[in-house]
Amino acid sequence: MNESVNYKFPDADGRFGKFGGKYVPETLITPLKELEEIYFSLKNDPGFIQELNQLNSEYTGRPTPLTFADSLTKHYGKGKIYLKREDLCHTGAHKINNALGQILLAKKLGKTRIIAETGAGQHGVATATVCAKFGMKCFVYMGEVDIERQSLNVFRMKLLGAEVIPVSSGSKTLKDATNEAIRDWVANVNDTHYIIGSVVGPHPYPMMVRDFQSVIGTEAKYQIHNIEGRDPDYIVACVGGGSNAIGIFYPFINRNVKLIGVEAAGYGIDTDKHCATLTLGREGIFQGMKTYLLQNDEGQVSEVHSISAGLDYPGVGPEHSFLKDEIIADYYSVTDDEAIKATELLSHKEGIIPALESAHAIAYLEYLMPKTTKDEIIIVNVSGRGDKDLNTIKNSLGY
Amino acid sequence: MSFIADFISKKNETKEKILSIFLTAGFPDKTRFAELAVKVLDAGADMLEIGFPFSDPLADGPTIQHSSQIALENGVNLKKTFAYAAEIRKHTQKPLIMMGYANPVLSYGVKKFADDAKAAGVNGLIIPDIPIEEYDNFFDESFDGLDTILLITPTTTDARIKLIDEKSSGFVYCVSISGTTGSSNKSISSTLDFLKNTYSTVRNNKMLVGFGISNENDVKTFAPHCDGVIVGSAVIKSLMNDDPNYSNTIDLIKKLKSSLI
């Protein structure tokens, strides 16, 4: 795996500074240790690396292209915009990178049953996909609200042979699906591996998912050096849990590249309908990790909102909390409306319909581009394609 | 020796095993919670675990998720929970334990939490999402004088049981199943093997068994292999449909206690 210079996190206890850790019920400690051990034994194993690389190239279709966005660049008339095309991955988003890595670990651990949580359904689809390929039973927890707004992905999961388990607790979205998946894991640790879909949860997940997703940044670095002969000046990615962002950031940490994470501001950060965790949250302990968290004065987790199911989450990966506090990356937020406008803009200008999650990264260009100069280079991570969101986009645009 | 450990030892010396009852603070009726708790103690509960609610209770099954949700809707917070504890303390000398998740404590302020718990007459704490890995990061010296009760589960290795036994105070909470609260036992024989092994490995602490104990039969099965039992979900379930005097719940507690003797 591609490791950054002078940046060795998490530490042996799974901490990124004060963030991260293993805040889980005792039942999960031993399976987490087993997972950590098998991961450390395999991550530098040539056979494992070759197997994963081969799957990445022959199954997922990696490397994904780095596309120069000619019209979008002209539209802003400033720096050069490149798009990292995770939307072109098999299954339509970067989530497959992690699902493939983890299914190989599950196989080595001798597990026969896979569970996952999903918000937008992209991680659920990726997990259902790798389970189909590797002959594992697959159960995906999904909030009822998300089942409604991502119905196409629900059908895809079913077609791939997975069982989708509706979650009706709490806000009926990603957070609650994650709670249920963790409860399932507590009850079925012996035969079950939990494929967490983002860089969240207890150690070793944030590290492991980052490592599997860092293929995005490793490729982007190679590609931009081939095209431009140098690092970019800016990298922009959306942040819900933060896996696509950390995946593209990680190989560029401490390289004088401005790393920008874009959160979902929902109806606006002056309302209570948003999920701008790093912008407005404070330190908390949630779903196995210490991290920034949207919560009330009494430490109860807030019900959050985003038009994008994949960003609709009150927590964030602990490494992002660390990168924010250390000022290694900067985090901003854009609203539902801005994301919809950006979806339309990228579709019109580049013929690429982004996922609503990725549209948040595109939308931030409105703020970033005026500050750039013509010789600067910006890479935006298009983490997924928008097919799953067409109903939501259609309703928002009204045509 | 801690107050709780001392209390359990004295009971055990007279061949009595402990019945610890879990209640969710402010459930089912926020105005009559202290009254309910005192009734439960009078009916034979030796100790009380008062659950303070959290929006995302990972270790809990549907029953306690539900009671936590109702408690939150009833406006129950830590301040209110301390007030309940202080009120209950006026009526009992038995151990009072608070149980809940780490985030409300962190948000309240760890030191303030410890100080207020002690002032309310609380003797111990159970925080299921603070395993020994996070123990020293979370429990600082402000918790001196409060027992911090740690959990052992069927996935805990023997080496870990020893570490947990060293860190835990008051007692060790042996979770009889791999699952959330209120789950049922899949295999009694493997559960008993696990309890016997843990009971013989734990040296420094008394051991109470919880999760999956809902009736007199369960109590009779498990009691010989521990120093006491903890019943939570079955009590909460009973409270959901009880009369205003909590007659069925009180009856359940009497039966559970008599099956221990």
How far, rounded to the nearest angstrom, does the alpha carbon of residue A157 sit from its chain's CA centroid? Answer: 19
Residue B87 falls in the annotated catalytic set: no
Q: What Cα–Cα distance (Å) separates residue A267 from each residue in A274, A393, B239, B247?
A: 6, 16, 41, 49
**Best of B69, B107, B177 to disrupt the A interface by mutation (most A CBs within 10 Å)?**
B107
Cβ-Cβ contacts under 8 Å for B124 (sequence gap 6 or more): B2, B4, B95, B96, B97, B98, B146, B147, B148, B149, B169, B170
Which range of residues forms the domain containing residue B208?
3-258
The reported pLDDT for the residue numbered A70 is 98
B20 to chain A, closest Cα gap in Å: 20
Residue in A with minimal Cα distance to B152 = A26
The string of pLDDT tens digits covering residues A274-310 is 999 999 999 999 999 999 999 999 999 999 999 999 9
Which segments of chain A does DSSP mark as H helices, in order? 29-42, 46-55, 70-76, 95-108, 122-134, 144-149, 151-159, 174-187, 205-213, 215-228, 243-249, 277-280, 318-325, 336-350, 356-363, 365-368, 390-397
CB pair distance less than 8 Å for A175 and B56? yes
The reported pLDDT for the residue numbered A1 is 46
The reported pLDDT for the residue numbered B186 is 75
Q: What Cα–Cα distance (Å) separates residue A81 from each residue in A264, A367, B124?
A: 22, 14, 58
CA B228, B234, B237 angle in degrees (round to 5)?
155
Provide the percentage of residues in chain A whose pLDDT is more than 90.
95
Enumerate the active-site residues of A.
Answer: 95, 117, 383
Whether residue A366 has pLDDT greater than 50: yes
pTM more than 0.90: yes
Residue B224 CB burial class (10 angstroms; 0-12, 13-18, ≥19): exposed
Rounded Cα distance, A305 and A168, in Å: 16
Q: What Cα–Cα distance (Å) separates residue A257 from each residue in A189, A234, A236, A252, B139?
A: 41, 6, 11, 7, 39
Rounded Cα distance, A370 and A234, in Å: 13
**Best of A298, A300, A302, A313 to disrupt the B interface by mutation (most B CBs within 10 Å)?**
A298
**Which residues of A touch chain B, with CB atoms under 8 Å apart?**
13, 21-31, 169-170, 175, 179, 182-183, 186-190, 283-288, 293, 295, 297-301
The string of pLDDT tens digits covering residues A214-256 is 999 999 999 999 999 999 999 999 999 999 999 999 999 999 9
Residue in A with minimal Cα distance to B132 = A26
Q: Enumerate the residues of chain B whose CB falls inside 8 A of the CB of residue A286.
A: 56, 103
Whether residue A3 has pLDDT greater than 70: no
Q: Are A187 and A31 in contact (CB under 8 A)?
A: no
What average pLDDT does range A63-89 have in this prediction? 98
Go through chain B and tell me how many residues it has.
261
Rounded Cα distance, A186 and A192, in Å: 9
Q: Enumerate the residues of chain B whose CB falls inside 8 A of the CB of residue A12.
A: none
Residue B130 has its nearest CB partner, among A23, A179, A188, at: A23
Residue A310 CB burial class (10 angstroms; 0-12, 13-18, ≥19): buried
Closest CA to A121 of A86, A85, A97, A91: A91
The reported pLDDT for the residue numbered A170 is 82
What average pLDDT does range A155-174 have in this prediction? 94
What average pLDDT does range A116-127 have in this prediction? 95
Query: Active site residue: B60, B116, B165, B227, which one?
Result: B60
Record the tokens describing residue B95, joined without a space. 């151990």
Phi-psi region of A75 (alpha: psi -120 to 50; beta: other; left: phi over 0): alpha
Give me the number of domains chain B comprises. Answer: 1
Q: What are phi and psi of B98, to 5 degrees?
A: -105, 140
Rounded Cα distance, A204 and A73, in Å: 39
Name the stretches of chain B with pLDDT < 70. none
Record the tokens describing residue B145, joined without a space. 């004088």
CATH, residue B214 = 3.20.20.70
Phi-psi region of B121 (alpha: psi -120 to 50; beta: other; left: phi over 0): left
Size of interface A-B (CB pairs under 8 A): 111
The reported pLDDT for the residue numbered B188 is 87
Per DSSP, the three-state class of A382 is strand
Cβ-Cβ contacts under 8 Å for B102 (sequence gap 6 or more): A23, A285, B127, B129, B130, B134, B138
Residue in A with minimal Cα distance to B211 = A187
Q: What are phi and psi of A12, to 5 degrees?
A: -65, -25
Provide the percentage of residues in chain A whose pLDDT is more than 70.
99
What average pLDDT does range A61-89 have in this prediction? 98
C-alpha neighbours within 13 Å on the C-beta side of residue B207: 28
Q: Enumerate the residues of chain B whose CB falls inside 8 A of the CB of residue A182.
A: 58
Phi-psi region of A222 (alpha: psi -120 to 50; beta: other; left: phi over 0): alpha
